[in-house]
Amino acid sequence: MIKMSTKGAVVQGLWREKQQQRPKRPHFETILTYVLLSSMSLLTASLNVLVIISVSHFKQLHTPTSLLILSLAVSDFFVGLLLVFQTTLTNGCWYIGDLMCALYQYLACIITSTSIGNMVLISVDRYIAICDPLHYSTKITLKRVKICVCLCWTCSVFYQSLILKDVLEQPGRYNSCFGECIIVINPIAGLAHIIISFTGPITVILILYMKVFVVAASQARVMRSHTAAVTLQGSMKVSARKSEMKAARTLGVVVVVFIICLCPYYFVALTGQDNLLSVASATFVIFWTYINACLNPLIYAFFYPWFRKSVKLIVTLKILLPNSSEAKML
């Protein structure tokens, strides 16, 4: 858990006191938590591997929007791997050393900020596709999206390296007793971190999607009023517009679920209540944040026929056949 406080000694004293007063959890409860977290980790990693293989293998899915979905799936895959380390905190103690604690927190912050960056890029992609469709193909190209995705990951690594520089140089410097895994950052840096990593991007995402759905609603009314009078060419255009709006709705669901899952963590950070959380509550907040990574592939499976088709081909090993990458997915 990342803590933002100028009174580090007081925070650590409260944590030590809670460590001493906290009763041990029942053995059954501990085992059940291990099993649930391990199962969630395996499921999250597996589902996102299916997304990664689907978008990477089938050439028809090599589109700008799919590339953004691929980047999000990669970050979600790493979330699944990080859940394995979260099992070490089920009893409130970290057993694998201060260096691994610092690296765990560092990687978790990078993945979280990268996921938020991917959501911003997805929102921009859908905004241009719906609100400026005539210039979409010239503004949103594969090359530009690749550059934006690379910048998203690079900036996340650089930014988190600056924020957590002291922690990485001296792992465990804020620990007051054995088994702690906390990070204390300067209040000013913490406020800037929340604005840059959460409130700013979320505001941009909400504004863009509000505009997207306003335009989509007006276009839907226009298409319904002209359905009977369209020619074949017009019908193809209407079909394309419906496809774009369906993609916007699907990715809109992804964005909304992402915000819902991320809000508890940042609400705790904003209100400064992290010092008052029990170990179980802190674990739940982190787990709720991470569960989003498992939900995204399920959303794709529910809304995207291409994902269901690609999973079927992957599971039946038909992707090993010659020219399987040329299969019609859309």
Tell whether the model's pLDDT for residue 8 goes beyond 50. Answer: no
Tell whether the model's pLDDT for residue 20 goes beyond 50. Answer: no
Q: How confident is the model at residue 157 (pLDDT cuts 50, 70, 90)?
A: very high
Q: What is the pLDDT of residue 162?
A: 86
Assess if residue 84 is contained within a domain: yes
Question: Which of these ranges, 119-123, 227-231, 306-310, has the smallest mean pLDDT?
Answer: 227-231
Q: What is the pLDDT of residue 278?
A: 56
Range of 250's domain? 29-223+238-326
- Residue 77 and residue 227: Cα distance in Å, rounded? 42
Residue 53 in contact with residue 314, Cβ under 8 Å? yes
Distances (CA, A) of 234 to 71, 238, 246: 34, 6, 18
| Residue of 205 and 22 predicted with greater confidence | 205
Q: What is the pLDDT of residue 198?
A: 82
Question: Which of these ranges, 155-164, 247-256, 282-291, has the smallest mean pLDDT?
Answer: 282-291
Q: How confident is the model at residue 71 (pLDDT cuts 50, 70, 90)?
A: very high
Assess if residue 303 is contained within a domain: yes
Share of the chain above pLDDT 70, in %: 72
Tell whether the model's pLDDT for residue 22 goes beyond 50. Answer: no
Assess if residue 9 is contained within a domain: no
Assess if residue 11 is contained within a domain: no
Assess if residue 160 is contained within a domain: yes
| Residue of 182 and 140 predicted with greater confidence | 140
Long-range contact set of residues 276-280: C-beta below 8 Å, sequence gap at least 24: 277/1, 278/18, 278/22, 279/18, 279/22, 279/89, 279/91, 279/92
Assess if residue 20 is contained within a domain: no
Assess if residue 13 is contained within a domain: no
Mean pLDDT over residues 184-188, rounded?
Answer: 72
Q: How far is CA 136 from the centre of its chain?
A: 25
CATH number of the domain residue 186 falls in: 1.20.1070.10
Tell whether the model's pLDDT for residue 197 goes beyond 50. Answer: yes
Q: What is the pLDDT of residue 315?
A: 92
End-to-end Cα spacing for the chain: 43
Number of domains in the chain: 1
| Residue of 28 and 288 predicted with greater confidence | 288
Q: What is the largest CA-CA distance in the chain?
A: 76
- Residue 290 and residue 283: Cα distance in Å, rounded? 10
Question: Which of these ranges, 5-9, 71-75, 275-279, has the smallest mean pLDDT?
Answer: 5-9
- Residue 249 and residue 212: Cα distance in Å, rounded? 9
pTM for the model stands at 0.80
Q: How confident is the model at residue 145 (pLDDT cuts 50, 70, 90)?
A: very high
Assess if residue 274 is contained within a domain: yes
Chain length of the chain: 330
- Residue 318 and residue 283: Cα distance in Å, rounded? 40
Which stretch, 39-43, 72-76, 134-138, has highest mean pLDDT? 72-76
Mean pLDDT over residues 210-226, rounded?
Answer: 73
Mean pLDDT over residues 303-326, rounded?
Answer: 90
